[in-house]
Amino acid sequence: MADVKLLGGLRSKVGATALKLEAETIRALLDELVERGGQALTVLFFEDPMADPLMPHRDLRILVNGRSMSFLQGLDTPLEKRDKVTVHLTGTRGFPGG
């Protein structure tokens, strides 16, 4: 069971602030969230929900124990029991930020 924490607008979209989910990878964890929150979440999670392979949406940020999946194995990052997973959407476009 991974401890999943949702931030910002995802809370209302999924209907939860925190969850405990069984998932072996981040990809499987996102499937679980879609199962709970509805298919509309797929457009937030994936660049093209119909593509194969699926690519994470540019706005999607997932941390495993505080470490971005960008520096792990992306959607294929394995999850262990008691891992702390944080899911949020950033949605910045500019440079340098403010």
Partner 1 sequence: MSDGGWTGTVLRVDLSSGEILRESLPATWARDYVGGRGVGARYLWEEVDPQVDPLAPENRLIFATGPLTGTNASCGARYMVITKGPLTGCITTSNSGGHWGPELKFAGYDLLILQGRAERPVWLWILDDRVELRSAEHLWGKGVFETEDRVRQEVGIADCSVASIGPGGENLVRYAAIVNDKFRAAGRSGVGAVMGSKNLKAIAVRGTGGVHVADPGALMAAQWAQKEVLSKAPLTSEGLPAYGTLALMNVINEHGALPARNYREAQFEKAEDISGEELAATRLAANKACFACTIACGRVSRISDAGVGRYTLHTSPRNWRHATEGPEYENAWSLGADCGVSDLDAILKASTFCNDLGLDPISLGATIAAAMELYEKGVLSDEQTGMPMPFGSGDALVAMSEATGYRRGFGDELAAGSKRMGEKFGHPEVFMGVKGQEFPAYDPRALQGMGLGYATSNRGACHLRAYTVSAEVMGEPEPMDPRATDGKAQLTVDMQNISTAVDAAGLCIFLTFGNTLSDLTPLVAAATGIAYTDDDMIRAGERIWNLERMWNLRAGVEPSEDKLPRRMLEDAIPAGPAEGEVSHLDRMLPEYYRVRGWGEDGRPTSAKLAELGIG
Site residues (vs partner 1, CB under 8 A): 5, 7-9, 11, 17, 58-59, 61, 63, 65-68, 70-71, 86, 88-98
Query: What are the structure tokens assigned to 57, written together?
Result: 């949406």
CB of 33 to partner 1, least distance (A): 17
Give 35 or 43: the residue with its C-beta nearer to partner 1. 43
93: exposed, middle or buried (Cβ count in 10 Å: 0-12, 13-18, 19+): exposed
Rounded distance between C-alpha atoms, residue 42 and residue 44, angstroms = 5
Our CB check for partner 1 shows the closer of 35 and 76 to be: 76
